[in-house]
């Protein structure tokens, strides 16, 4: 029997950030030189309510190990109510994903304001560590995409 050599696992994390709060928070983390893992990749959306559950499913399908969605704090949404819709949608989606076998820890919703650079970096660091511990995600993965 052949023993496969184990490569060190670096998780792939997709972060959806709303333009007005969290993306600005990420920018602030950047200008304050607050380090967080490089495997976190940010996608900018106008508002957290723009995040279609399909995007998250697509990310898992294409090989993401964790997906985090960040928006303005409840009550502070630039579009008044967008993050409330997002929160409901994600609660439903995440419980469905949990049912499908994608652990609850692999998905997260965080509220990060434009002034919370420190929180942004800390959140991303913590999330990346959590995913690192959970290991690779195989569920939902489209095997045809793999090389």
Binding part of the chain for other proteins, among 1-9, 69-77, 101-109, 128-136 by CB under 8 A, reads 69-77
Task: Identify the residue among 3, 5, 11, 64 touching other proteins (CB under 8 A).
Answer: 64
Span of 1-9, 74-82, 97-105, 126-134 interacting with other proteins by CB under 8 A: 74-82
Query: Judged by CB under 8 A, which stretch of 1-9, 12-20, 100-108, 127-135 contacts other proteins?
Result: 12-20
- Residue 53 CB contacts under 8 Å (≥ 6 apart), including other chains: 89, 90, 93
**Binding of other proteins at residue 43 (CB under 8 A)?**
yes
Q: Does 24 bind other proteins (CB under 8 A)?
A: yes
Selection from 49, 19, 51, 32 nearest residue 122 by Cα:
32
Q: Is 47 in the site for other proteins (CB under 8 A)?
A: yes
Asked if 109 interacts with other proteins (CB under 8 A), we say no
Interaxial angle between packed helices 117-134 and 22-31, expressed in degrees from 0 to 180 and rounded to the nearest 10 = 100
**Cβ proximity of 51 and 16 under 8 Å:** yes
Asked if 97 touches other proteins (CB under 8 A), the answer is no
Rank residues 42 and 68 by Cβ distance to other proteins and give the closer one. Answer: 42
User: Going edge to edge, which strands form the sheet with 40-45?
Assistant: 40-45, 13-18, 66-71, 107-111
Contact flag: residue 115 with other proteins (CB under 8 A) = yes
Q: In the structure encoding, which two tokens stand for residue 6, read together?
A: 């184990």
């Amino acid at each position: 029997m052949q023993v496969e050599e184990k490569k060190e696992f670096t998780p792939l994390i997709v972060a959806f950030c709303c333009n007005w709060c969290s993306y600005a928070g990420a920018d602030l983390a950047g200008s304050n030189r607050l380090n967080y893992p490089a495997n976190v990749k940010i996608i900018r959306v106008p508002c957290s309510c723009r995040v279609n559950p399909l995007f998250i499913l697509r990310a898992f399908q294409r090989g993401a190990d964790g997906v985090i969605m960040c928006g303005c704090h409840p009550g502070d949404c630039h579009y008044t109510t967008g993050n409330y819709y997002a929160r409901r949608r994600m609660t439903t989606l995440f419980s469905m994903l949990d049912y499908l076998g994608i652990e609850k820890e692999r998905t997260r919703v965080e509220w990060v304001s434009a002034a919370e650079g420190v929180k942004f970096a800390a959140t991303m660091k913590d999330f990346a560590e959590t995913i690192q511990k959970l290991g690779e995600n195989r569920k939902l993965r489209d095997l045809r995409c793999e090389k």
